[in-house]
């Protein structure tokens, strides 16, 4: 029987998914501090007492790992999410990876991706924090109103560009979103998905 040779380098379809946002430049110019305020969320009780500080967005935008395109496409093509299930239900997310069917909870997926750490999730306030998180667009969200607020203009998806955003902080946040979440590398366009995340 022929012996299989061990692969010494990764397959050719590895995509460098690392965002090209320059955190060093943002730090040197003092903008990283302003951005950080947007990337952390403090969960408070009804009386305004801080219970839990979420650093998930900050961690998400700092992930710089190579991605196997084949696995990524397989995951996106097969993933399903059941929002009716609890965050710790092991069957909330179902997907295939490497030809194998898998299931996990929201919490497990968040830890494996690196958005949350286990210590945060052991907090007595974490479940309440997750319950308060938005899982769908709020009824009062209006992209035209928001665009007018940050640019002073009328939102037209085909012509909306990041340079129209008046605030430097919001422009940098848009770059993070477009590179890290929606993968519009080197594009100034601001599609409605980017605008909603912003």
Q: Where are the domains of the chain?
A: 11-133, 140-198
pTM of the model: 0.51
Among 194, 198, 189, 141, CA closest to 167: 198
Q: Are 136 and 127 in contact (CB under 8 A)?
A: no
**What per-residue confidence (pLDDT) applies to 7?**
46
- Ordered per-residue pLDDT tens for the chain, 198 residues: 444 444 445 445 555 445 556 677 778 878 777 777 777 777 777 788 877 777 777 777 776 666 677 777 788 889 888 878 887 889 998 999 888 999 998 888 888 877 788 787 777 777 777 777 656 677 888 899 999 999 999 999 889 998 999 988 888 888 877 776 666 666 788 888 888 877
Distance from chain centroid for Cα 44: 22
First to last CA, the chain: 57
**What per-residue confidence (pLDDT) applies to 52?**
76
**What per-residue confidence (pLDDT) applies to 184?**
62
Distance CA 80, CA 198 (A): 25
Query: CB-hemisphere CA count at 13 Å for 192?
Result: 9
For β-strands 66-68 and 41-44, DSSP reports them as: unpaired
Instruction: Give the Å distances, CA to CA, from 185 to 146, 182, 188, 190.
Output: 23, 9, 9, 12
**What per-residue confidence (pLDDT) applies to 84?**
84
Among 118, 194, 117, CA closest to 162: 194
Where does 35-168 show beta strands of DSSP type E? 41-44, 50-54, 66-68, 80-81, 93-97, 100-104
């Amino acid at each position: 029987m022929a012996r299989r040779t061990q692969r010494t380098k990764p397959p050719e379809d590895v995509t460098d998914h690392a965002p090209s946002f320059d955190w060093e430049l943002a730090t040197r110019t003092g903008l990283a501090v302003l951005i950080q305020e947007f990337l952390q969320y403090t969960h408070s009780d009804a009386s305004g007492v801080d219970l839990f500080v979420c650093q998930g967005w900050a961690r998400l935008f700092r992930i710089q790992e190579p991605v196997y395109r084949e696995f990524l496409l397989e995951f996106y093509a097969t993933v399903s999410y059941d929002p009716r299930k609890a965050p710790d239900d092991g069957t909330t997310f179902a997907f295939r990876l490497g030809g194998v069917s898998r299931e996990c909870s929201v919490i497990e997926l968040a830890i494996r991706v690196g958005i949350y750490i286990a210590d945060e999730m052991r907090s007595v306030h974490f479940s309440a924090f997750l319950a308060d998180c938005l899982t769908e667009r709020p009824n009062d969200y209006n992209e035209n109103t928001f665009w007018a607020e940050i640019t002073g203009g009328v939102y037209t998806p085909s012509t909306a560009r990041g340079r129209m955003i008046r605030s430097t902080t919001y422009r940098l946040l848009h770059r993070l979103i477009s590179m890290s979440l929606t993968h519009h590398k080197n594009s100034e366009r601001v599609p409605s998905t980017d605008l909603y995340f912003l």
